[in-house]
Structure 1
Amino acid sequence: MAEQCTYEKYVFKKKLETLRSKSGRSTELISLYIPSDKKISDVTNHLREEHGQASNIESKLTSNNVQGALDSLLAKLRSLNKIPENGIAYFIGTVDTGANRTSMENEALIPPESVVDYIYHRDFVFYLEPLEEMLRECSTYGLILLDLREATIGMLVGKQIEVIRHLHSTVPGKQRKGGQSAHRFEQLRRIAIHDFYKRIGDAASEAFLGVEPAELKGILIGGHSPAKEEFSEGEFLHHELQKKVLGLFDTGYTDESGFSELINAAEDILQSIELIKQKKDMEIFFKELATESGKVSYGEDNVRANLEIKAVDVLLLSENLRSERVTVKCGVCGYENKRTRKWKTSEAVPVAGNCPECGSALEVTDVIDIVGEFSELADRGNARIVFVSTDFDEGSQLMIAFGGIAAILRYSTGV
């Protein structure tokens, strides 16, 4: 099965690519980001003010286009009962489609992560940076910060840091009270440290064991030495969580302000984890290919055929794959055929050509995204879908040599 957030990421990325390709003839493209806590009435009042100010724009054509875009935005807000939990982003304006023609772009997107700031932006192009920042792996990581004074448990979900629990220790300082022997004092101190580590482990279990194992990609432990080393080596974490520890990192803070420091320290590891998994899948593919086991398939037609008979175990799709399946039909003799073309951001209808049977003009009757089609087929056959980056050699080969589509099969099919 495909990881839901990975396919959603692909769809979201395609929408941004389309918007990125649009441009206006003047500063008449409006980008509007609305956080969930913003009152719709406040946004409406602001847009009405902008509508009034747009009448002062020197170019009458630009003024009319901006006011038309604002009218469309105001109409959308009137039909919006509540701002979605993650906020909403609107992209509206008159775009240049070439050949001295224009069209009205009107797109509303629900972001995969929360919109933080209210933004109204008018320019030649749409303002997409806040959404592009969200185009990263939808992964969950457990975060543990500790020293002998305190500990903080949290999670990194996408780009959002969630603070779950803060604990204070009862570990006495190194200065013993009068009347206690040094040995007795140290003994009591070690007991208190052990109890504190156990409390941290219990809190981590409560926070992380409820997360689906496939979603929890790893655990990062930060803080001061030797506390973090003692905690990690002392088996205070549940054994299932201990397997997911990715590393120990020095941080100056052990309260919630230390989470950003911990994530920055682990940046290289976080970036490499998904690539490592993708490399393993590609290594299996190339191994099966080299041994001629028959348990691999590549190319659009062959992989589609194996998906249809549910023989695919792992579907490998390049993150850079951008193709569409186009159905063309002759309205005169009924001839019908399917073709694959590279996906374009342009909305122009492609010329379908002439019917090979009767010579009449062919008409495009249906267009579907190849990734969407293959993902649906993979889900029906319970195949795992892997979106492969081109940031490593094998990933580049998948795109260049195999057209971005390959599969590891459950058994040899001869296809």
Structure 2
Amino acid sequence: PKKHRKGGQSSVRFARLREEKRHNYLRKVAELANQHFISNDKPNVAGLVLAGNAAFKNELSETEILDKRLGPVICAVVDVSYGGENGLNEAITLAAEALTNVKFVAEKKLVSKFFEEIALDTGMIVFGVDDSMRALEMGAVETMMLFEDLQITRYVVKNSIKGTTKTLYLNPQQEKNSKHFKDPETGNDYDVVSEDPLGEWLCHNFQNYGAQIEFITDKSQEGFQFVKGFGGIGGFLRYKVEIADHHENEGAGGDDFDPESDFI
């Protein structure tokens, strides 16, 4: 009886210790989430996925330790069978639909704001390849909106006789036209110094201009309208700029771009 009573006390003590460790871990996770996902008094992420086994993830979402401002951005709570990197990959797979919905909501909000700026004629947006790239080079673009499958190639060509270089932005149809690769005065061919998909080039260089990039799909109504009507490239300016109203390249706004009918 004495041993049994002592063993029973040990069992209760171990259970209490486990519960304390669990609570401490829960507190640690919640505090780290508050630290990393809240900045400037608001969530700095569009969505959060809580993943784990058993009920721990549910306790995390319900605990008062987790900042209440994070509640609205929890987009999925999923069960995973593994820990570490395998568990992370499993969570991403299970939450794929929820994450896609978060992206569409953010995309709709961003593109709608872009359309609103056009309707208000604020002068604080830019669109089309030529104007967008000019504004970027001036350091005036705060956020660049880019179609994820933009079919534009950035060429740097050199006039070997004059020793000058210039940058071309060509769509697949324009690339087939040899006139873009010849000096209009002499008819001599330009030397191609570099050739990069514009989207890829921007991903490597946007930070050099102090800009951010937001990728847009054509799967939402707003995204499709941005891609079809505005060439799939544009952005928000940090200040108004005067951009020369001329285009060396045809179709800079997209194959079907019509400024009269495509404006919102």
Match of 1:366 among 193, 198, 221: 193
- Whether the aligned pair in 2 keeps the contact of 1:202 and 1:237 (CA below 8 Å) is no
Partner of 1:284: 113
Q: Which of 28, 41, 45 is equivalent to 1:202?
A: 28
Q: How many residues align?
A: 225
DSSP-derived class of the 1:362 partner: coil
- Given the alignment, which residue of 224, 237, 253 partners 1:409? 237
Unaligned runs of at least 5 residues, structure 2: 6-11, 244-264
Question: Contact 1:219 / 1:241 at 8 angstroms: preserved in 2?
Answer: no
1:281, distance to aligned residue in structure 2 (A): 1.9
Partner of 2:123: 294
Secondary structure of the residue aligned to 2:61 is: helix
Aligned to 1:307: 136
After the TM superposition, which residues 323-342 of structure 1 pair with which residues of structure 2 at under 5 Å, given as runs? 323-328=152-157, 338-342=167-171
Q: Is the 8 A contact 2:46 2:102 kept in 1?
A: no
Q: CA deviation at 1:296?
A: 0.7
With normalisation by structure 2, the TM-score equals 0.62
Q: Which amino acid letter does the alignment assign opposite residue 304 of structure 1?
A: M
Match of 1:218 in 2: 48
Residue 337 of structure 1, CA deviation:
5.6
CA contact (8 A) 2:47 2:74 kept: no
Q: Is the CA contact 1:335–1:355 (under 8 Å) kept in the aligned structure 2?
A: no
After superposition, residues 20-39 of structure 1 pair within 5 angstroms as none
Name the CA shift for 1:234/1:355 in 2 (closer, same or farther; >3 Å). closer
Instruction: Give the corresponding residue for 1:246.
Output: 75
Distance across 1 between alignment mates of 2:241 and 2:137: 12
Q: Give the conservation status (yes or no) of the 8 Å contact 1:294–1:414.
A: no
Q: Distance in 2 between matches of 1:412 and 1:330?
A: 33
Mark the CA change 1:229 to 1:357 in structure 2 (over 3 Å): closer, same or farther: closer
Q: Closer, same or farther in 2 for the Cα pair 1:266/1:280, shift >3 Å?
A: same
Q: CA deviation at 1:286?
A: 1.1
- Is 1:232–2:58 an aligned residue pair? no
Tell me the amino acid that sits aligned with residue 197 of structure 1.
Answer: H
What code does the residue aligned with 1:361 have?
Answer: N
Q: Identify the residue that residue 269 of structure 1 maps to in structure 2.
A: 98
- The residue type paired with residue 190 of structure 2 is E
Please provide the CA RMSD for this pair. 4.5
* Aligned residue type for 2:153: E
1:389 matches 2:217: yes
Give 1:331 shift. 5.0
TM-score using structure 1 length? 0.43
Deviations 1:285-305, CA, capped at 9 Å, x for gaps? 111111111111101221122
Going by fraction, where is strand more abundant, 1 or 2? Answer: 1
Structure 1 198/254 Cα, relative in aligned 2: closer, same or farther at 3 Å?
farther
Tell me by how many angstroms 1:314 deviates.
0.6
The whole-number CA distance in structure 2 between the counterparts of 1:333 and 1:325 is: 21
* Structure 1 gap ranges (5+): 1-176, 179-185
DSSP 3-state at the match of 2:190 = strand
- Quick one: structure 1 residues 343 and 375, their matched pair in 2 at CA, closer, same or farther if it must change by over 3 Å? farther
Q: What is the CA-CA distance between 1:306 and the residue it aligns to?
A: 1.6
Shift of 1:323: 1.9
Give distance in 1, aligned partners of 2:126 and 2:147.
15
Quote the offset at 1:249 in angstroms: 3.7
Matched, 1:322 2:151: yes
Within 5 A, what are the aligned runs for 1:114-193? 193=19
Q: Write the letter of the residue equivalent to 2:50.
A: L
Counterpart of 2:241 in 1: which secondary structure? coil
Higher RCO structure, 1 or 2 (CA under 8 Å, sep 6+): 2
Deviation at 1:215, TM superposition (A): 8.2
- Aligned counterparts of 1:349 and 1:401: Cα–Cα separation in 2: 23
Q: Distance in 2 between matches of 1:272 and 1:293?
A: 30
